Amino acid sequence: MKYNINIIISVDVVKALSDKTLHNSIYLMDDSPCASYGKGTANLVTRCLPGQTIKWTSYPVDLQTPVAISRIDFLPVAGVVLPPPGYPPQTGTGLQPVNPDLFEWTGIVPYYLVPGIPYYYRLQLEMGEGKNGTMHINTAAIMTTA
């Protein structure tokens, strides 16, 4: 049985906006039963199985300034050829091409990922307003197990 995996993104928004970086201001945790590592850091590697659903949810440490997920993009892996990204959902499928609720994102782990290789992703967050309100990290990853 494949369990859904939840990745919690906790951000000290005041510190991130003051420092103009997410480093030392973001903490990622998951509930994967597959021995993930880097929990509580920006370097979380979530171990998962192909076909599992992963849900990312963002929470601010301080409740005055909200934090929203604006993008999640997987980065290229050297030596691994991936199929082209999918197409936006067709009208009438019940799927939405954009995410109206930016506090959580959900995706399904593709079956073509090579086990044991970390697939890093760029996690872009929006906090407050202004030019420094959008920041990202690219140090978290998912890794499939055999």
Closest CA to 145 of 27, 33, 1: 33
State the Cα–Cα distance between residues 138 and 146, nearest whole angstrom: 24
Residues with Cβ within 8 Å of residue 144, at least 6 apart in sequence: 47, 48, 49, 50, 109, 113, 114, 115, 116, 117
State the Cα–Cα distance between residues 59 and 55, nearest whole angstrom: 13
Tokens 């192909």, located at residue: 50
Range list of β-strands (E), 23-118: 26-30, 45-48, 53-60, 67-74, 104-108
Q: Is 24 or 81 the better-scoring residue by pLDDT?
A: 24
User: pLDDT by residue (tens digit) across 18-71?
Assistant: 999 999 999 999 999 998 999 999 999 999 999 999 999 999 998 888 899 998
On the question of pLDDT at 75 being above 70, the answer is yes
Q: Is 76 or 128 the better-scoring residue by pLDDT?
A: 76
Average pLDDT of span 86-93: 45
Secondary structure class of 56 (helix, strand, coil): strand
Write down the CATH superfamily of domain 5-144.
Answer: Inclusion body protein (2.60.40.3910)
> Which two structure tokens, joined as six digits, stand for 91?
């009208």
Neighbours of 41 (CB within 10 A): 15
